[in-house]
Amino acid sequence: MIRNIIPTTLFSLFILVSSITFAQMGPNMYDLNIDANITGSNDNDVNVKTFGLQKNIFKHMIKEGEKGILNMGFNYKYAQLNFNTHEDFFSNLEDFHSLGVNLSYIRRMNEKWMFIGMINPQLSSNFKAKLTSDDFYLNLIALVNYSSKPNNRLTFGLVYSNSMGLPFPVPIISYWKRFNDQWEMNLGFPRIGTTFTMNPKSSFSGYIEFDGYNANISKNMSSVLFEEERMAEQINYNAIISGIEYQYKIDKFNFTIKAGYTLGQVFELQNSNNDTAYEFDMGSNLNFGIGVGFNF
């Protein structure tokens, strides 16, 4: 089960790395990022599709950058769930939305050390009832980068991100290295990989990454199907995906295409204590993603 994979493999291998990974969880590399992801159905109980949008709002250099850079952005994510079991009973769980604001602070302390902090409050729910405190989620990041040379970087710190289905602080230590103009690697969470740059416009990457999504169920559910008569109060999705990614940059645009395979995934309903109320049957299958970044 992926529940057992996470504490052993995920935390030891999938460690946050480099500004690229940080951009996925915090400030955007581009002024506007749009992405979509589809996981194949096969015989799975649930088919998951997601659409995301991140927009930078402003960047402020404190004392011309001497005291750091303050960024503010907006993020939105839509998850569509298609159920292949007990469809009528789970019909209220087909659409989930997450809406939040990113506020980040980046401070270069000297030539080798840099501090990165982010706070991301957001609402994440199927919004079938009035808003409550259960719809509120909070993501926090505090990292320190150390670069002995321009071609390598060590990152360590803490990440708290219950919107990824990990509702507890995760200790972070990661490493990124560029070998030459063509090859670089990163070992991190939520992604590890190797990248080959063909030319200034095109690059290929082989990767293994963690994907997760957590959201509140506005109207709590109960059923004889649920374990130990627990209430279903939130959804939790986790997956480990391996694949190949192609990036193409032209002018102010960056296009991304990904094709992969889920090495393991879990989708379950949980109570407020993150105990499983109902676990769906989820096997491995194909995964596809596209994305575009744009600078104004």
- Please determine, for residue 26, whether its predicted confidence score (pLDDT) is greater than 50: no
**pLDDT for the residue 166:** 61
Query: Residue 103: enclosing H or E segment and its boundaries?
Result: strand 95-108
β-pairing verdict for 232-250 and 202-221:
antiparallel
Confidence grade of residue 162 (pLDDT, cut at 50, 70, 90): low
Q: What number of CA atoms fall less than 13 Å from residue 285's CA on the CB side?
A: 16
Mean pLDDT of the chain: 85
* Each residue's pLDDT tens digit, 37-90: 998 777 889 999 999 999 999 888 888 767 889 999 999 999 999 998 888 889
| Residue 144 and residue 156 in contact, taking contact as beta carbons nearer than 8 Å | yes
**pLDDT for the residue 39:** 87
- Please determine, for residue 20, whether its predicted confidence score (pLDDT) is greater than 60: no
Residue 24 three-state SS: helix
Residues 189, 191: Cα–Cα separation, whole Å? 5
Residues 50, 78: Cα–Cα separation, whole Å? 6
Indicate the range of 88-97, 173-182, 186-195 predicted with least confidence: 186-195
- Please determine, for residue 25, whether its predicted confidence score (pLDDT) is greater than 50: no
Residues 100, 103: Cα–Cα separation, whole Å? 10
Match 């159920």 to its residue by tokens.
Answer: 83
- Please determine, for residue 30, whether its predicted confidence score (pLDDT) is greater than 60: yes
| Residue 236 and residue 124 in contact, taking contact as beta carbons nearer than 8 Å | no
- Please determine, for residue 17, whether its predicted confidence score (pLDDT) is greater than 70: no
* Each residue's pLDDT tens digit, 260-288: 999 999 999 999 888 999 999 998 899 99
**pLDDT for the residue 190:** 73
**pLDDT for the residue 165:** 57
Angular region, 272: left φ>0, alpha ψ -120 to 50, beta rest:
alpha
Chain-centroid distance, C-alpha 215: 13
Please tell me whether the overall predicted TM-score, pTM, comes out greater than 0.75 for this model.
yes
**pLDDT for the residue 206:** 97
